[in-house]
Amino acid sequence: MTVAVLVLAAGRGERLGAPVPKAFAPLAGVPLVVRSLAAMARVREVDRVVPVVALADRDRFAALAPGLAGIPKLTAPVWGGAERQDSMQAGLASLGPDVDLVAVHDAARPFVRARDVARVLAAARDVGAALLAVPVTDTIKRVRAGRVVETPERSECWAAQTPQAFRAEVLREALARAAAEGFQATDDVRLVERLGLPVAVVEGDPGNVKITRSEDLTAAHARLLDLRACDEAVR
């Protein structure tokens, strides 16, 4: 079983308000994309880690070479597209027929735990597609034009995370159908759901946050300092 992970880093991430694209924003001096690539390479079940980067960031990514040199399993970068789904398509197209399982991960989620990646890969192998998610603690409202249109049952609401993982043929079929029908999603397993195929939910870690706004980066930095302080205290 050959397993590849696409680490999507081709977005602009304008909500972060950083002077560089989000994936290149440093967290304690290390860009988010480097942290996420390293986190994926640490997973024993993963054979190949594929960075998907905007062509406009070619030089910026090349400049990370010293930091990437120590990361095993890394392939050459693949150039992403205008939408997240285009970036995923480009990453998938770069994989050979030898790849059986594909996971897709946001470069903006640097805290993902290896054991959760392994669990979502195992579920995708068994079911066809799977995602990490956490039960929501807030009540969720569906809102349109400033008015509540629906309140889904909270016990059935989960917040989707990445990685989301797929048998390669399932992801190929789902992307081909979405492209043929002009369907775009911000969530990868959505493309499989719409084909009526099963998607397994694997309970993840609330700490696997996506860095979106500048306050997320500040909170992430504080968390890293806490983790370091804990490490030192138990050493």
Segment holding 4, helix H or strand E: strand 3-9
Rounded CA separation 233/185 (Å): 44
Q: Return the SS3 of 53.
A: strand
Nearest residue to ligand C5P by CB is 11
Rounded Cα distance between 60 and 64, Å, is: 7
- Rule CB under 6 A: say whether 4 interacts with ligand C5P: no
Q: Which of 11, 31, 110, 128 binds ligand C5P (CB under 6 A)?
A: 11
* Residue 151, token pair as written in the block: 């309140």
Would you count residue 38 as binding ligand C5P (CB under 6 A)? no
Of the candidates 230, 232, 218, the residue with the CA atom closest to the CA atom of residue 27: 218
Name the one range near ligand C5P by CB under 6 A: 60-68, 79-87, 93-101, 150-158: 79-87
Q: Which of 23, 27, 120, 165 binds ligand C5P (CB under 6 A)?
A: 23
Within 188-217, the residues that bind ligand C5P by CB under 6 A are 210, 212
Q: Quote the Cα angle for 43-98-68, to 5°.
A: 40
**Closest CB to ligand C5P among 50 and 127?**
50
Task: Determine contact, residues 50/80, Cβ cutoff 8 Å.
Answer: no
Cβ atoms of 124 and 103 within 8 Å: the answer is yes
225 binds ligand C5P (CB under 6 A): no
Q: Which is nearer to ligand C5P, 46 or 127 (CB)?
A: 46
Please pick, from the candidates 35, 48, 84, 167, the single residue that binds ligand C5P as defined by CB under 6 A.
Answer: 84
* 10 belongs to the binding site for ligand C5P (CB under 6 A): yes
Which of 98, 108, 102, 107 is closest to 121 using CA atoms? 102
Name the helix (H) or strand (E) containing 214. Answer: helix 214-234
Give me the least distance between CB of 87 and ligand C5P, in Å please: 3
> Under rule CB under 6 A, how many of the chain's residues touch ligand C5P?
20
Report in angstroms how near the CB of residue 126 gets to ligand C5P at its nearest: 26
Which residues contribute to the site for ligand C5P (CB under 6 A)?
A: 8-11, 13, 22-23, 52, 80-84, 87, 106-108, 186, 210, 212
